[in-house]
Amino acid sequence: MSIVVTGATGQLGRLVVDELLERVPAGEVVAVVRNRAKAADLAGLGVRIRVADYTEPRTLEGVFEAGDRVLLISSNAMEDNTAQHAAVVDAAAKAGVALLAYTSVLGGSAATFRIAAHHAATEQLILESGLPYVFLRNGWYNENYSGNLGFVLKSGVVLGSAGEGRIASASRADYAAAAAAVLTGEGDKTVYELSGDQAWTFADLADEVSRQTGRTIAYRHLPAAEYSKIMTDAGVPARDAESVADADLGIARGELAAVTGDLRRLIGRPTTTIADSIAAALKN
């Protein structure tokens, strides 16, 4: 019986593995990765590595064992990832895992932007599998914004289509700590609505960057099509740009604004503020 993390070489997955290694011996942790070489450092720490690709169901055979506690980290294919997740759910059900935790989206099926629909579809597949489950419905990462300050500082603007909508974001590390808590049996719910302790607007974000840099940064609201085109012109794949702009419309409708307290309670500390994540990014 092991704790198994898929997407373990991704940004969230690595943080989950780090958190697990603080709680359990490395030999109890399994990292499921697409590329073994990318996981060399994890192997060096004593984590067991299994190689599988969500898009090739045969590679998932034997990846899970009866009694495993599994975290399915959602694929970063922004659209069309339900079939990928279905292959993982199927493999977990065949193995008879003890828990399937899934990184879903804040609000679950109540969220109506496009990316959210794929999370809702995966939740439904997990429910239909009959496996014991936990839905970690993650709100937005601070790093979606603090990781993009180069453009903001160069252009002097925060661009978006979210109007005055609020975002109750938290850091990836906060969400990772929550996942590790659930995987090691610290949780007591099956559905967690995980979000930050404060909700902020894009205008607040611009003000905070201004405050920390001494520059004048403004928020410029754009129609979604215009925002999407600017991202595409800057090299973002068209479908990803459309998904980001579409998610902003969800933010405008208040769909990522809920301050629920679930994340703070699960990790036993306040969540990381957007101001702290900006400060950390500006130091690098």
Ligand X SMILES: NC(=O)c1ccc[n+]([C@@H]2O[C@H](COP(=O)([O-])OP(=O)(O)OC[C@H]3O[C@@H](n4cnc5c(N)ncnc54)[C@H](OP(=O)(O)O)[C@@H]3O)[C@@H](O)[C@H]2O)c1
Which residues lie near ligand X (CB under 6 A)? 7, 9-13, 34-35, 38, 53-55, 73-76, 84, 103, 138, 140-141, 144
Please say which residue, 2 or 84, places its beta carbon nearer to ligand X: 84
- Closest contact distance (angstroms) between CB of 216 and ligand X is 27
Tell me how far, at minimum, the Cβ of 220 lies from ligand X, in Å.
Answer: 22
- Closer of 144 and 210 to ligand X (Cβ): 144
Query: 163, exposed or middle or buried, with CB in 10 Å at 0-12, 13-18, 19+?
Result: middle
Task: Please identify, using beta-carbon distances, which residue of 2 and 75 lies nearer to ligand X.
Answer: 75
Q: To the nearest whole angstrom, how small is the minimum distance from the Cβ of residue 55 to ligand X?
A: 5
Report in angstroms how near the CB of residue 98 gets to ligand X at its nearest.
Answer: 22
Q: Kindly state the smallest distance separating residue 10's Cβ from ligand X, in Å.
A: 2
Cross-strand pairs, 33: 51
Which single residue brings its beta carbon nearest to ligand X? 10
Q: Quick one: 103 or 213, whose CB is closer to ligand X?
A: 103
Q: Which is nearer to ligand X, 113 or 141 (CB)?
A: 141
Pairwise CA distance, residues 116 & 247, whole Å:
9
Query: How near is the Cβ of 214 to ligand X at its closest, in Å?
Result: 28
Residue 255 is encoded by which pair of tokens? 């769909």
- Of the pair 156, 159, the CB lying nearest ligand X is at 159
Judged by beta carbon, residue 55 or residue 148, the one nearer ligand X is 55
Tell me the closest approach of the beta carbon of residue 200 to ligand X, in angstroms: 14
What is the spatial distance between Cα 11 and Cα 93, in angstroms, rounded to a whole number? 26
Q: How far is the CB of 11 from ligand X (least distance, A)?
A: 4
DSSP code string of the chain? --EEEESTTSHHHHHHHHHHHTTS-GGGEEEEES-GGGGHHHHHTT-EEEE--TT-GGGGTTTS-TT-EEEEPPPS-SSS-HHHHHHHHHHHHHHT-SEEEEEEETTGGG--SHHHHHHHHHHHHHHHHT--EEEEEE--BTHHHHTTHHHHHHHSEEEES-TT--B--B-HHHHHHHHHHHHTT----SEEEE--S--B-HHHHHHHHHHHHSS--EEEE--HHHHHHHHHHTT--HHHHHHHHHHHHHHHTTTT----SHHHHHHTSPPPPHHHHHHHHHH-
User: Based on CB atoms, which residue is closest to ligand X, 84 or 260?
Assistant: 84
